[in-house]
Structure 1
Amino acid sequence: MPTPKPVAGQILAPMSFPKHGGGEITVGGPKENWTLFIVYRGKHCPRCKKYLNILNGMRGQWADAGFDIAVVSADTAEKAAADMGEFRWGFDLGYGLTETQMETLGLYVTEPLSGAETDRRFAEPGTFVIRPDGSMLLIAISNGPSARPELSELLDGMIFTKENDRPPRGTV
């Protein structure tokens, strides 16, 4: 039986990933700040690069709003290093997202079209906003690369949500 999809308001148990440059990225569990957690398809996805480049340009705005940023894919360390080398993103970049973690997050999983695309199953995009207590405020998952939250609209909504202490929605 498949694992149930995550529910807004649910506590995300801490989940760790190796981080490009050393160490680990951990999402979920109690933190000092809010977390914007983005799962991307991997090095093979040009739409992901466009989205992450926009995010990179907005890092300061997200930080000013009290958010830490974590980005991860199922890629290998070598592929993550190649992306970081090419794009020089300023956010923490994780790799090695497992299929068990994909399932826990409720992500769609895709078989590569060919070895030219990538050499392993990968997660389709997911965007999560996690409160400092570890609860998931927002869960936005897609089954393909073309549908993702628009980052400036998301930031505006999260600022409003924080300032007005709004609860998670879509819990019924």
Structure 2
Amino acid sequence: MIKPRTKTPELTINLVNDTKWSLSDQKPENFTRLVVYRGKYCPICKKYLQTIQKHIKAFSEKGVNVIAISSDSEKRAKATYEEWKVKDLPIGYNFPITDARTWGLAISKGIKEEPEEFIEPALFLIRPDQTLYTSSIQTMPFARPEIEDLLKSIDFIIKEAYPARGEA
């Protein structure tokens, strides 16, 4: 587990628009919101990413860059981007399971239509200096923080200059 106020691992990932995204290249005014989703086969992830898409302008107005990543293949990620209609949300793919473990993420073995192994959902709010502000790591696709609540929390954090907690 990465503790708040400590530097996160470097992350460089391919995007569905045929570019590369690196965490160290991000220069948001306030934060980078890293969203890890299970993959194209997950209907709950679809709804979650579509809700983020609906609020992407609000994140931007708060000085927050957003990216969503999964261990899906390029083909599946590009299909996700097109079919889920998340045109303003950068989508990264082929996030290695070994790197996911470095980030402290939960890994599941597939059942039914799922891949053999995949990464469970997580949210990270990362400061411009690449230190972790907060994280929410799931072991299931359920019970993720609501996007509207996250936006309100970001307002509070910025207004009150509220420090990252959980570092002790």
Task: State TM-score, norm by structure 2.
Answer: 0.93
Using the TM superposition, give the Cα deviation of residue 12 of structure 1 relative to its aligned residue in structure 2, in angstroms: 1.1
Gaps of at least 5 residues in structure 2 are none
Match of 1:102 in 2: 100
User: Which of the residues 76, 83, 86 maps onto 1:86?
Assistant: 83
Using the TM superposition, give the Cα deviation of residue 165 of structure 1 relative to its aligned residue in structure 2, in angstroms: 1.6
Supply the distance in 1 between the matched residues of 2:160 and 2:130 (Cα, whole angstroms).
Answer: 19
Q: Which amino acid aligns with 1:31?
A: Q
Match of 1:111 in 2: 109
Matched-pair identity in %: 28
Task: Count residues with an aligned counterpart.
Answer: 165
Residue pair 2:38, 2:120 contacting (<8 A) in 1 also: yes
Residue pair 1:10, 1:136 contacting (<8 A) in 2 also: yes
Report the RMSD for the aligned CA atoms in angstroms: 1.2
Structure 1 stretches of 4+ with a deviation exceeding 4 A read none
Task: Give the alignment of 1:16-165 within 5 angstroms.
Answer: 16-27=12-23, 29=24, 31-33=26-28, 34-89=31-86, 90-114=88-112, 116-118=113-115, 120-165=116-161
Tell me the SS of whatever aligns to 1:134: coil
Supply the distance in 2 between the matched residues of 1:32 and 1:81 (Cα, whole angstroms).
Answer: 25
Gaps of at least 5 residues in structure 1 are none
Using the TM superposition, give the Cα deviation of residue 117 of structure 1 relative to its aligned residue in structure 2, in angstroms: 2.2
Residue pair 1:30, 1:132 contacting (<8 A) in 2 also: no
Task: State TM-score, norm by structure 1.
Answer: 0.91
Using the TM superposition, give the Cα deviation of residue 9 of structure 1 relative to its aligned residue in structure 2, in angstroms: 1.0
